[in-house]
Amino acid sequence: MRPPIVCPFPAASASQEPAEAGPRATAGTGVRPSPPSARPDLRPKSERRIARTLRLAAHGWWLAPLVAVAVKRPWWALGLAVLCGALECARGSYEVKRQARRRVRYGGEDARRLADRIRDGWSTATDAAGLSYVSWRPAFFAWEGADSLAAKLDRAQHVWRRLGDRQWPPQLDAIEPHPLGLVLTVVLSHGQTVNDFAQAAARLATQLRAIRVDVHGGPAPDEVQLVVVIRRPLLDPIPLPPSRPYLGRGVVELGIREDGQPWSLSFQSCSGVLVAGMPGAGKSGTLRALLAGLVGAPRTEVAGIDLKAGVELGPWEPAMLTLATSLAEAVAVLEEGVDLLDRRFHLMRAAHVVDVTELHHSVEHPMRVIVVDEAADLFAAPPGDRAAKELTDRAVAAAVTIARKGRAGSVRIVLATQKPDATTIPTVLRDQLGPRIAHRTPTRQHAETILGGLVDLTQAPWQIPPNLPGVALVAGSEPEPLLARAYQVTSEDVRRIVKQATREQADE
């Protein structure tokens, strides 16, 4: 059974500073960071030693009057004071440059301060979190058996040192930058396990004043990696990058994941995508981000179905293969996709291949993506309208065929709806769809209708705050469900992408 998904967003507003938010820890969630490529960097330690040496030398101005009295030469005192002033200036300049290098090394001022806080208070933090271990030695030593005076002195030294047990912190092996903060590599010792750190993640986050601490296995069997999170990448809108979000081979970059990594969706491994959420939750924004990557992509055709008079998909029409704005036109687009599948299957059978991309002239068979905005208008007929009921039945049958067989024939379907229920998305169709993107929903039942049995739901996605449109729970595209936020595609971005796509189509 998959672990339950818990919404990581605070109840406070999005304007709250992430670094100052209340501590909150989860263990075993997120994506495991890449192991450090090298052993711990020794430059921070050497830099600290240089800074301490300069600080001690610069603060030696009080020796000037003592030297003057001792040698009875006032000019020496003045020279020593000038030397201390010069050393103080050198120390300040070195410290400024050192802090600038460390900001670059750790990815920002917040991460740099966190690294200093971890180094200076690692022993206290692990002790308070219950992760320090006690190095036990006997408090009393018998003098019997000590054959020599040296042995007796050695035992007496042990007694002096171990009058009480001492708490020893786990060894901090490395501190590396991470998109969400820092990655700490810690050496396990004295019977510790990864579960011990997972159970203490909340207490450790409190001590480090972090949002949360994610615990993962380390690169070595005796190591553990702690992701100290101080940033929430999903709180603020994410503008569309200047480069085209199409990554090639049917992969589209839609936005940013919870762990700060790019969120991409591959059409090579699925034949259908479901995007659903209540009004204002960001369903249209995710559809825009998807179209921004598909429209004008190489060897890709986009056909649109928008029964709201083409209001949502109308701006993309110049770069589309077709745009259906009526129920009859929508059924024709879907049935044309089924006919295209049949033609390609005949060619594949004649060529003895199992995928259309294996055909010798596969460039003549581009991937076709049918995008349906508001599936409720397509699959749910008004009561008593027999003609509309016949058309919706044909639409459901064609959509189910494409969702079931479209991957091999390179025909895909994307369904978007604001009414996620069994009437809008029939169960026989929903079960054939691959990745499911669930935006904020009003109730748990709506989320279960979207995600089915792909996620063990507890608090998400109906607890996503209303001030975070575009944030969704994604299931079916990765081994584990993840939270992500789609790029914010403005009207200017749409016009730019459509203009570029139409120019490229004209050049072909």
pLDDT (0 to 100) of residue 2: 42
Which DSSP helix (H) or strand (E) runs through 490? none
Assess whether 428 and 474 both reside in one domain.
yes
Assess whether 274 and 422 both reside in one domain.
yes
**Is residue 49 domain-resident?**
yes
Assess whether 320 and 366 both reside in one domain.
yes
Assess whether 465 and 368 both reside in one domain.
yes
With contact defined as beta carbons under 8 Å apart, do 469 and 285 qualify?
yes
pLDDT tens by residue, 217-274: 888 888 999 988 887 888 888 888 877 666 667 788 899 888 788 888 888 878 889 9
pLDDT (0 to 100) of residue 401: 93
pLDDT (0 to 100) of residue 156: 58
Assess whether 193 and 110 both reside in one domain.
yes
∠ Cα 18 4 435 (to 5°): 90
What is the Cα–Cα distance from 446 to 194, expressed in whole angstroms?
36
pLDDT tens by residue, 162-218: 444 556 788 888 888 887 888 888 988 778 889 999 999 999 998 888 888 989 888
pLDDT (0 to 100) of residue 340: 93
Domain assignment of residue 463, given as a range: 246-507
What is the Cα–Cα distance from 337 to 306, expressed in whole angstroms?
16
pLDDT (0 to 100) of residue 320: 93
Assess whether 446 and 374 both reside in one domain.
yes
pLDDT (0 to 100) of residue 25: 35
Could you tell me the CA-to-CA distances from 277 to 248, 422, 424 in Å, in that order?
28, 14, 13
Contacts 24+ apart (CB under 8 A), 95-98: 95/51, 98/47, 98/51
Q: Output the domain CATH number for residue 318.
A: 3.40.50.300
Residues in the chain predicted with pLDDT less than 70, given as ranges, are 1-82, 84-85, 87-109, 134-167, 244-248, 360-363, 453-461, 508
Assess whether 210 and 275 both reside in one domain.
no
With contact defined as beta carbons under 8 Å apart, do 182 and 114 qualify?
yes
**Is residue 162 domain-resident?**
no
Assess whether 314 and 173 both reside in one domain.
no
Amino acid of residue 130: G
**Is residue 148 domain-resident?**
no
| Residue 160 exposed, middle or buried by CB count within 10 Å (0-12, 13-18, 19+) | exposed
With contact defined as beta carbons under 8 Å apart, do 149 and 156 qualify?
no
pLDDT (0 to 100) of residue 400: 92
Q: How many CA atoms lie within 13 A of 289 on its CB side?
A: 29
**Is residue 161 domain-resident?**
no
Assess whether 176 and 320 both reside in one domain.
no
| Tally of domains in the chain | 2
**Is residue 11 domain-resident?**
no
**Is residue 393 domain-resident?**
yes
**Is residue 472 domain-resident?**
yes
* pTM for this prediction: 0.67
With contact defined as beta carbons under 8 Å apart, do 182 and 111 qualify?
yes
Assess whether 254 and 206 both reside in one domain.
no
47 C-beta neighbours (distance < 10 Å), count: 17
Assess whether 334 and 199 both reside in one domain.
no
Assess whether 264 and 205 both reside in one domain.
no
